[in-house]
A = this chain, B = another copy of it.
């Protein structure tokens, strides 16, 4: 005897197949008493609906949309690649994934895109975006229309997403601090913190976590203010020179966001490349090269492959109104050094 089927449930509950179907799919026209009988039979036999067969019978192909900013970021590009690979595989499981890039600076365009999607009859949306009021309203409307929303990488707590796929940014910052503190050793106990901008929630949280551990475990190390570069290499050069002049030399650099290539350039000009402990975030071709070259000491990352697969699994589960396997979907915060770099494919 294999797994129980609807037929077994019908026999066990003493009702017809049609009634079992009505109960399982929450169709109207069944007495409470009958519902209870079927539910009990389900529990007794340990019946689990065969979702594959169910979706086959429904004939529906789950259609989901994924929205990424059109930033020229290596990380976003890496994530997109991972999503495309995962989407190709998901095709064999009756799922169609539409990937869109939205203008990062125009939240109204994003909101309009979301409205279009809602009208187009989609069964789920996942997105990576900073939480603005416009977006929040758009997402709430989407969810009110019954479309589940999944936040990727950066959480959207005020939009009440159905799920968040990403790591704890505060823990990421704490981990960076722990490594920085221990790697610094006898080097100048001063750390420079650099960010493109502090608008994104994850940057802010990383910084908070970094400070918390620095203050608690390494009180002897001085941590500077966040230097914002707004993505411009020239600004980076200026703020770094200014900071070094006014506060003196540093033993470590913590890069909150992207901009690794520009940093390498400036460090090289200053004769600091490989002489200061450098810690950053996210595994991209640039950071991989930097680790391999030896001038970056550690990268705190989240596995984009996992993010992609987890996102699709969660969207599928939501579409099927199935529960989520928390332990599988919990992303690990990864520490990457030169020695545990993943083998290049």
Contacts and interface: CB of A to CB of B under 8 A. Distances in A.
Interface of A: 2-3, 48-53, 55-56, 61, 85, 89, 91-94, 168, 171-172, 174-175, 177-179, 182-183, 185-186, 209, 213, 297, 303, 305, 309, 325-328, 330, 332-335, 337-340, 342-343, 345
A50 B52 CA distance: 10
A178 B342 contact: no
Nearest to A82: B327
Contacts of A334: 332, 334-335
B328 A309 contact: yes
Copies in the assembly, this chain: 2
Contacts of A305: 327-328
A321 to B, nearest CB: 14
Contact of A339 (B52, B53, B171, B327): B171
A340 B345 contact: no
Contacts of A92: 48-51
Contacts of A335: 334-335, 337, 340
Contacts of A332: 303, 332, 334, 340, 342
Contact of A61 (B2, B172, B339): B2
A56 B93 CA distance: 13
A202 to B, nearest CB: 15
Contacts of A209: 339
A55 B52 CA distance: 9
A345 B333 contact: no
Given A171-B339, A182-B185, 19 more contacts: A2-B61, A3-B94, A48-B92, A56-B56, A85-B327, A171-B340, A174-B339, A175-B337, A175-B340, A213-B339, A305-B327, A326-B345, A332-B332, A332-B334, A332-B342, A334-B334, A334-B335, A335-B335, A335-B340
A207 to B, nearest CB: 15
Closest 7 CB pairs of A and B: A52-B52, A335-B335, A174-B339, A185-B185, A175-B339, A333-B340, A175-B340
